[in-house]
Structure 1
Amino acid sequence: MSTVRPMKVDDLFKIAPCNLDPLTETYHIGFYMEYLTKWPELCQVVLGIDGKIEGYILGKLEASPYPCQVSPYTPSTNPDPNYLPWHGHITALTVAPHARRLGHATRLSTALEQASDAENAWFVDLFVRASNKIAIDLYTKMGYSIYRRVVNYYNDGEDAFDMRKPCKRDVKRETVREDGENVRVNPEDVW
């Protein structure tokens, strides 16, 4: 049986086995520390039966750094298609190769979605490599859909899909769309 608990600072020295996948983005220690200090409740780890870390999530709650042109914000009246209202964001979600297909990713993302709902967020989003079919299928099964394709998002020139799952606040599902993989934007458009 696995256990989900809040991430601690010393966990940063124990997550390397989770980062061995070439599709997992690995960051410098200061990046992880920023998340732990700003959004500690949105950073969690999964411990296996042996007590070792088998997966983790880094998340945050945020909005665009500039004000919405229409106040109060509603998706239907907002004239800026790239404005991001208050939302949850999955920055990193990874599971060690030996612990996959055990539901860890679903448990971690569900916890972040619940925290986002509790903070009255509009949606939860994440970025995933367009070639990472396994992750795209996983997120789709969890209720995420592709909102847009971010062209040349990654340093190697690969595109990313911006995937979203609406929160309870978005009753009309206005923050998601059909055929999002055909809506192309540049990295500077996503803030």
Structure 2
Amino acid sequence: MSTIRPMRPKDLFKISSTNLDHLTETYNIGFYLEYLTKWPDLCQVIEGMDGNIEGYILGKLESSPYPAPISPYDPKTSPDPNYLPWHGHITALTVAPSARRLGHATALSSALEQQADAAEAWFVDLFVRESNEIAKTLYTKMGYSVYRRVKNYYNDGEDALDMRKALKRDVGRGTVRGEGEKPFEVSPDEVW
């Protein structure tokens, strides 16, 4: 049986086997350490019985760096659709190829969502490559929907889909778009 636990700095020496997928973004060690320093509760691993890391998630809690256009923030009255209220963000989520289809991605995401809910976040969001059909299907099954397309987001020019899942604070679901609503496009400089 695998166990979810907080990520530790020494785990960074053992996660390379989880990053073997061409769709997984691999970051430099300083990036991972920054997340562990700023958001330790939102960085977790799934460790197998053999001690190997089978998957991990990096997350953060944040809001736009500028004040809400209308205070207090309400998604129904905000004139700026790009303003990001207090929310959780999944920066990286990956599962080793040998540990896929065991529910690890769902378990890690759910753990982050619970932390974001406890911090009274409006929603959890993530960016996924438009071509990553497996991830898009997984996130859709978990209740995420496409909020917007970020044109040319990745270094190779591929678009990203900004997917969101409303949390308890967003009773009216104003921070997400429903099935059938057309997501709008933004450029990377409109996303921070």
**How would you bin the TM-score normalised by the shorter chain?**
over 0.9
Percent identity of equivalent pairs = 74
**So what's the TM-score if we normalise by structure 1?**
0.98
Report the counterpart of residue 185 of structure 1 in structure 2: 186
For structure 1, the residue ranges without an aligned partner over 5 or more in a row are none
Report the counterpart of residue 157 of structure 1 in structure 2: 157
Report the counterpart of residue 107 of structure 2 in structure 1: 107
Following TM superposition, by how much is the alpha carbon of 1:97 offset from its aligned partner in structure 2, in angstroms? Answer: 0.3
Alignment-mate amino acid for residue 48 of structure 2: G
Alignment-mate amino acid for residue 91 of structure 2: T
Alignment-mate amino acid for residue 23 of structure 1: L
Following TM superposition, by how much is the alpha carbon of 1:49 offset from its aligned partner in structure 2, in angstroms? Answer: 2.0
How much is the aligned-residue C-alpha RMSD, in angstroms?
Answer: 0.9
Alignment-mate amino acid for residue 105 of structure 2: A
For structure 2, the residue ranges without an aligned partner over 5 or more in a row are none
Q: Is the 8 A contact 1:75 1:175 kept in 2?
A: yes
Q: Is the 8 A contact 2:6 2:41 kept in 1?
A: yes
SS at 2:19 equivalent: helix
Deviations 1:78-115 (A, max 9, x none): 11110000000000000000100000000000000000
Q: Distance in 1 between matches of 2:181 and 2:117?
A: 23
Matching of residues 1-191 of structure 1 within 5 Å: 1-178=1-178, 179=180, 182-191=183-192
**So what's the TM-score if we normalise by structure 2?**
0.97
Following TM superposition, by how much is the alpha carbon of 1:175 offset from its aligned partner in structure 2, in angstroms? Answer: 0.6
Q: How many residues align?
A: 191
Following TM superposition, by how much is the alpha carbon of 1:12 offset from its aligned partner in structure 2, in angstroms? Answer: 0.4
Alignment-mate amino acid for residue 43 of structure 1: C
Q: Distance in 2 between matches of 1:182 and 1:165?
A: 14
Q: Distance in 1 between matches of 2:181 and 2:37?
A: 33
Following TM superposition, by how much is the alpha carbon of 1:51 offset from its aligned partner in structure 2, in angstroms? Answer: 1.4
Deviations 1:15-56 (A, max 9, x none): 000011010000000000000000000000001121110000
SS at 2:158 equivalent: coil
SS at 2:34 equivalent: helix
